[in-house]
Structure 1
């Protein structure tokens, strides 16, 4: 092995990945592109901006937009480059690069902006790029941001921090420690009023509104422009720590923002959409209290019923069938509901029964979907990816990659 070759190993700290396999990230991009291409082309956007497009739902949205709709895309994300053999950067850093490379091979623009999507300077850079190098207008904005904090745009000395907590009561339940491969009891304490408001500022729709306001003021929104933000409701069994918790409060705030945005873009025949997504394995979902227990039960039932979807499967169906197709499923509040498969009564009844049977001794057995849940988590960082069996990388080459 040469001096610049580094051996890659999986490293977990609780439910947080501390290592990345760049080759696996590249292969995962190829696998997702292949999935979309296998479904064929469909009519949609031509110029898209994806805020938070480096992983999970945002990345899946970007891939189906580019390789399903044939769109040029801009991605904005906060990622870290490699520094040395002990800090190879973030998975999203490589996802951005390998997506751009494949987009360019297909004759598409895949521009990446790395930095804080909340910052005014980032908004200014993106708008200028659209004017100068992106045809002057966009017809799709996907807002898919999960962030721990945001600086108040009107007061640089104030920073809001999001929290994952309940509201009004504490809740105790079991969660999964992926590092130690065991269950542990967890109590989620209620958030203060200030924490609820801070989470709404960070994870709600305020910044989404600002992006649309500034894009429109700059004259870079095309007639028929669409914008979409992803929400989650889930079953009643998760309401305490999600839908009725701080995250749910933020999603409600985002929904209110969608109505404001709709009013602002109606003169260009625009459309502001909220899409209620299904439960998936993401870097955020694995640290949501108690939520992984629901996932391993859900995945098992979905495997049996043929309804399980990864992010690329879910978002490709959303855009192909609902955003740009003629098979929209909406609820009484006008939200798109691609989560209907997860919410089927028969599936939820079976999930509830299975959750009652899960114990510390059997949670990681064939009784549940634990293996799939863990595998999907590792794939987020380039491990256990079908088609990628390389466990060494050339650090020198990685350091030369540019987004």
Structure 2
């Protein structure tokens, strides 16, 4: 059967497994072109199936020749009407390409927040992965989390705090601008967002891994965050998600204390804005993204997730160009927040209208292509959209 891109608002409702395979290969080839670097050799990536998590796993494996474990919550195919998620196929094809090069690439599919998943991963590390890991990447983005210690399920809400925020957003399905109004978060929603998107679960992963003796000397762990410019702060950095990220910074401090005996290190990495499944549904953010991409592309600064994470791994996490701020956070987002970049972005945003946002004035086409790429469509290379459903059903991650 042939597959085609289907959208509902800014969410994809279809997938091209062939395109997913090609996109994984394109990212691998990008890393290989940058050459080898000395980095992680045994890595665990939580949220490994797409965007920053997948990019981290690819650069670790194909830039530093690391064995990797990936944990993600994805769905496989059921029939012709439900072919599963892009991340399901990303996991499968990453493993295929990694194993061809003699690397271990273990995929766990399930709830990374659960105690059961933590125990499964720890058992695998001890029994089949050499006993220790030297890197843990925490790149989870989820709508809900069940606290296994209390049984309470929390939901996240990307909302402002103390004020209603309105602004223009982009509807990819209809290809139009619309005014979006976001109500302020309740105290319950703020608490839920902190529980889901903060650092508590990250701490628990590190604690359990350490207690099990699964952390190598000099172990590193990193959680990805985002701050962004002033224009996005009302609905992002100063909103419920910003509170969650501040809590993650406190978690990082506690993790660092816990890792002293191993000469280990916990880091918050403030990444730049990129196209992800999460970023395209964040209120009002897409308007900023299409202007940012235009400016950064013209200034030869634009990065996709693989370009960004590969740079971070080889120059910062395992290089000599670490760029820390006053809070000890890694700041590879400095390219995005340069004064000259932001001045041009603000000028573009002021010019953007419903009539011109799809023209060459703005990078809407690039934004749309990168979003389609996440789901295996419009990928550079061999992306045949004719798939064999029976063959897809036989694939296992």
Same fold (TM over 0.5): yes
Q: Tell me which residue corresponds to 2:102.
A: 107
Q: Tell me which residue corresponds to 2:316.
A: 322
Q: Tell me which residue corresponds to 2:286.
A: 292
2:44 corresponds to 1:13: no
Q: Tell me which residue corresponds to 1:302.
A: 296
Give the secondary-structure state (helix, strand or coil) at the position aligned to 1:327.
coil
Q: Output the CA distance in 1 between the equivalents of 2:150 and 2:221.
A: 27
Q: Deviations over 1:103-149 (max 9, x none)?
A: 00010000000000001000000000000000000000000000000
* Runs of 4+ deviating beyond 6 Å: none
Q: Output the CA distance in 2 between the equivalents of 1:154 and 1:220.
A: 22
Q: Tell me which residue corresponds to 2:39.
A: 44
Give the gaps of 5 or more residues in structure 1. 1-5
> Are the equivalent residues in 1 in contact too, given 2:167–2:179 (CA < 8 A)?
yes
Q: Output the CA distance in 1 between the equivalents of 2:267 and 2:234.
A: 25
Q: Output the CA distance in 2 between the equivalents of 1:227 and 1:93.
A: 25
- The within-5 A match list for 1:220-369 is 220-369=214-363
Q: Deviations over 1:30-65 (max 9, x none)?
A: 000000000000001110000000000000000000
Q: Output the CA distance in 1 between the equivalents of 2:93 and 2:79.
A: 20
Q: Output the CA distance in 1 between the equivalents of 2:141 and 2:367.
A: 20
TM-score by length of 1: 0.98
Q: Tell me which residue corresponds to 1:376.
A: 370
2:175 corresponds to 1:153: no
Q: How big is the shift at 1:155?
A: 2.0
Q: Output the CA distance in 1 between the equivalents of 2:242 and 2:276.
A: 17
2:213 corresponds to 1:219: yes
Q: How big is the shift at 1:388?
A: 2.6
Give the secondary-structure state (helix, strand or coil) at the position aligned to 2:254.
helix
Q: Tell me which residue corresponds to 1:3.
A: none
> Are the equivalent residues in 1 in contact too, given 2:113–2:147 (CA < 8 A)?
no
- The within-5 A match list for 1:186-205 is 186-205=180-199
Which of 178, 199, 202 is equivalent to 1:184? 178
Q: Output the CA distance in 2 between the equivalents of 1:221 and 1:159.
A: 29
TM-score by length of 2: 0.99
2:86 corresponds to 1:65: no
Q: Output the CA distance in 1 between the equivalents of 2:381 and 2:347.
A: 36
Q: Output the CA distance in 1 between the equivalents of 2:80 and 2:148.
A: 37
Give the secondary-structure state (helix, strand or coil) at the position aligned to 2:219.
strand
Q: Tell me which residue corresponds to 1:137.
A: 132
Q: Tell me which residue corresponds to 1:77.
A: 72
Q: Tell me which residue corresponds to 2:93.
A: 98
Give aligned pairs, total: 397
Q: Output the CA distance in 2 between the equivalents of 1:308 and 1:38.
A: 18
Q: How big is the shift at 1:29?
A: 0.5
The alignment's C-alpha RMSD in Å is 0.5
Give the secondary-structure state (helix, strand or coil) at the position aligned to 1:31.
helix
2:20 corresponds to 1:28: no
Which of 379, 383, 390 is equivalent to 1:389? 383
Q: How big is the shift at 1:194?
A: 1.1
